[in-house]
Homo-oligomer: A and B are copies of this chain.
Amino acid sequence: MTIKFEKKYFDELANLKINKPQGQLSGHNSGEPFCDEIYNFLKKKNNNNIFKQYEYLNQLLKQNSSKKTAQERLELFKGTFGFIINRGKTSLKKWTPTAMFEEKQNDTADILFIDDKVNTIIDVKTKNISKKGQPPNIISAYKMAHIAESIINNNDGDKIDINYIGIDWELNGNFLDLKEIVIRDLFKITPEKIYINWAAALQIQFDVSTIDQNYTKSKKDWASDYLKTYIKSVQNRKEKLDKNFMKPFLYLLDH
């Protein structure tokens, strides 16, 4: 079964509200409960397909319990999807059925939809619409360059999807009310429109609800176009370091 996450799919969540978290509202303490709600909702609809990243990793390693060395386990992570979700050799080596992976804030995916044709990486991004803020960090531009490299070299872009669920919410008394929910497909974003913030941990940043969705070519084309944008952005950053951050101070070096 292949699934297309569309706005319609989430209609039942239109009136979703969560309890206002204790203490000062932050991106973290407001984002997490919404993410849990989305996870529970998806899990109820597709119990066998939906996992948190660590849950899937644990299942994969349990189902391959004969593979015990890091090298054998690495074999389970071939291809682009494996590259995205793999926590690395050291972690794989340490894993045992009694010391399994736990939830980790910096895992790439909030939620996975596992399927025999297409695996979908789902990331939930929440926004307090009463606050004007910077667009959120989406994913490391450097990691995305490696993902693009993998898509080109393995030619397996048709086996993955990367989707963002954007949740706009508003504080309403003791609740955070969901105001809008949007679904965005990473591979429909025209790569030229992607912004990389090199001073914010090399993160791709965009506002989920307003990001472009007009790219129509294949995932391999997307990967190639992304790398062009990425390399241009590295070059721009180098020039900016030179022009804005270095040159203005060179005249002082003889003092």
Contacts and interface: CB of A to CB of B under 8 A. Distances in A.
Secondary structure type dominating chain A contacts: helix
Contacts of A149: 249, 252
Interface of A: 21-24, 26, 28-29, 142, 145, 148-149, 152, 198-202, 220, 224, 227-228, 230-231, 234-235, 237-238, 241-242, 245-246, 249-250, 252-253, 255
A37 B28 CA distance: 27
A206 B67 CA distance: 43
Count of identical protomers in the assembly: 2
A231 B249 contact: yes
Contacts of A26: 26
A239 to B, nearest CB: 9
Contacts of A249: 145, 148-149, 227, 230-231
B21 A142 contact: no
A64 to B, nearest CB: 30
A176 to B, nearest CB: 14
Contacts of A245: 142, 145, 202, 234
